[in-house]
Chains A and B, each alone.
Chain A
Amino acid sequence: MIEGKDLRVYFKTRDVEVRALDGVSVAVKEKEIVGVVGESGSGKTTLGRTLLNLQRPVGGEVLWNGKNVFKLRGREEREFRRRNQIIYQNPYEAIDIRLKVYDVIAEGIRVHRLASNKEEEKEMVMNALRDVGLNPEEEYAYSLPNQLSGGQLQRVAIARALVLNPTFIVADEPVSMLDMSVRAGILEIFQRQREEKGTEILMITHDISTLGYIADRIYVMYQGKVIEHGSADALLEKPLHPYTQALITAVPIPDPSERAKLFSVKIKEKEEEYNGKGCKYYPRCPFAMQSCREKEPELKGVSSDHYVACYLY
């Protein structure tokens, strides 16, 4: 169980302050896969990094089993690091390509001293490789990262996280760099992990269709704010926020006959200038009203598992 409360992360450059997270609260409950969706720059990745204490927020707190993760020290911090892992979008970037695959995966084992001897370490590494579907594992273990394809390397990155037996994983667009053909395989690893070990997963993506496939609950983010969240079924079937609706409309559907069923949402052709105080989305919102321009809407429940920040509801 990991929970972020009212997280605020501001990035300052010389004359601009970017509010990457502006009062975001998320919770990932046990055995849950939670999706975070939003366009580039909406703060998804920052949210994931903040939850794992890789980015210090200017406000808010992250509770891991009731403890504030920013105040963890010593053994507790090491335990937190071990139990909470992150998988990055680009495996070539996220792995030190000097190291052999074996050493990449064994790194965590060595840091946390999980293996008492070399054989045990080797067994753990080989098991992890097998778990992520890299067969034959002996061959992969002693190859160099740049001898592997993107999909294979992403599996290595996942194995590096899974070998530590984490209870929570942030998967930061784990499949967006990969071919369609290998995406399902990678997502299955996460599903199996959840089913077999009860791992909580925060799946960050800009592709809402991926979440339909895997997530239990979905958060939709727009410019550093959560604008809608709810169970995956409710949210996908009945998206409330105009932005969510636009996101879902944008998903390509191969069968032309299906397209007729889609509700169509128009986006304003001409964007207005944002006035600095209203709803972040009103410049692009086709339903923008006067109230939208004056004050940002609060997140409020329309049902027990569906929340939206919009004056329409």
Chain B
Amino acid sequence: MNKLLRDLMSRKTFIFSVVVIGFFAVLAVAAPFLTPYNNPYRVGQQFVAAPYAVPAWATVFPQYKNLPPDVRITLTPSLAYESSGEVSQLNSSTLKVTVPPGDTVNVTFPLRWNWSSPYDVRLSFTLVTPNTQYFQVNLFVRDFYLMSLSPLPIPPEVTVVPGKPNPVIFSTELVNPGNSPYVASLPVQDQSLASLELPKMLLPKPGTYNVTLSFVNTGKTTEMFLVTLPGYSSLGYAYGRLGTDDNGASVFSEFVYGARFDLYLSLVASAIIIGIGLIIGLLAGYVGGFTDLTLNAFTDFFLLIPGLPLLIVLISIFDITGTIVNVNKAVLILLIISLLSWPGTAKIIRGQTLTLRNRTFVEAARALGESRMRILFKHIVPNLMGILFAQLAYDVPGVILAESGLDFLGLGITEFPTWGNMLGYATNNVSFVNGFAWWWVLPPGLGIVFISVAFYYFGTAMLDVLSPYKLRGE
């Protein structure tokens, strides 16, 4: 055992393969701990940042330099109000605003902005108004008159209930001429573009911008308003380890869960392939004669079927009937790939069994009085171990490629991320991206390449080390 390990460790390619496979295995196993989003294709897990957000670390590159991250802060009023009697701190998160009759009090919250404009701007606060009909509260960012709150609204004013706490949310995504005085003031053709243009106008570049709440009392008595400190939040253009896709979903989550699924599927499929291949190859090679002829013809038949077209046809057929028998698509793909991929493995195992069967030590075992079964399991199968491990490893990339191919074409799994899906969707959307969404395309692409190479090296190392008769150059 020790010798085996030493043999393996002396190969640089083996070490490379172990490192790469280990890396992806850790990603796959630790996926739930690495990312909170277990299926970024579900709507609830999208828009964690702006669509096509670059990875956070990519902001070191000049072209991504000023892109904002996701920002979520609570604004505080400027210090100027400390002394005046009109605005006072009720508690740590609530302000009390006292407005004399017929007067207006403005409360300004400075917003320090260090980046270029974000994807959207959201402001939220809770407002408790006096129990009268005679007031109005207006929201400004810089000079833009974004929102007007009133107990008797005339559009674009928005209703508030007097004397009660009213949660108020302003979002550039939701503005329309009916709820925003600024949008209503725009020419008609510009109104529908307001939600795209507003973030750029509100926060055009780094600097300090004022968010102002203006409390208007049109009544005849002094009134008191309570308002929580407004929360500011916006989705940024730089997000996480690997940015976002076209739906603003985390690419890192997709990559990690893609690795998890691809590895799992390919290992199970490889095991099935080896299982079928071993049984058929061993039987054909060891029993020989008519059995060999029959099994070999059977294998040839499967070998000559053009794989991908049949795969596509079968998936399409079963997918339609699948709604009736309710077969999981992943299981379906697993079974079809396995059942179409075993012939090569079976042929290789058959060939190896044939040469082993005719070796002198097998005849020597017969001469010792060993039964056929004992020879098979004591001498033939152990000597096949190298080939078996190698085939197991060689089949993994094959399965990953087949599965990714199906997903890429949109015929495979669509409900959750796989590497093939990522590549497929990225290809569909890449022309809309400013430039090239490398953070979306490269991880699954390189992942497939690296894991294929790693498994190939792993298999070759296993083949060399575990096959005693290979070592001597036979």
Contact = CB atoms under 8 A, between A and B. Distances in A.
B369 to A, nearest CB: 3
Contacts of A77: 369
B382 A88 contact: no
A45 to B, nearest CB: 11
B413 to A, nearest CB: 42
A148 B128 CA distance: 94
Contact of A90 (B360, B383, B469): B360
Contacts of A90: 360
A86 to B, nearest CB: 5
B370 A88 contact: no
Nearest to B368: A108
Given A94-B361, A97-B468, A164 B368 contact: yes
Contacts of A122: none
B367 A98 contact: no
Interface string A52-88: 1010000000000000000000000110011011101
B329 interface: no
A282 to B, nearest CB: 35
B360 A93 contact: yes
Question: Interface extent on B, as a size class?
Answer: 10 to 19
Contacts of B379: 96
A112 B369 contact: yes
Contacts of B360: 88, 90, 93-94
Contacts of A97: 468-469
Given A93-B360, A98-B468, A54 B370 contact: no
A107 interface: yes
Contacts of B364: 86, 88, 94-95, 157, 160
A93 B368 contact: no
Interface in B362-413: 363-370, 374, 378-379, 382-383
A107 B370 contact: yes
Given A93-B360, A94-B360, A97-B468, A107 B365 contact: yes
Interface of A: 49, 52, 54, 77-78, 81-82, 84-86, 88, 90, 93-98, 107-108, 111-112, 146, 157, 160, 164
Given A54-B367, A85-B367, A95-B361, 8 more contacts: A93-B361, A94-B360, A97-B468, A97-B469, A98-B468, A108-B369, A111-B368, A112-B369
18 contacts: A78-B369, A81-B367, A81-B368, A82-B369, A84-B367, A85-B368, A86-B364, A88-B360, A93-B359, A94-B361, A95-B361, A96-B365, A97-B469, A107-B365, A107-B370, A108-B369, A111-B369, A111-B374
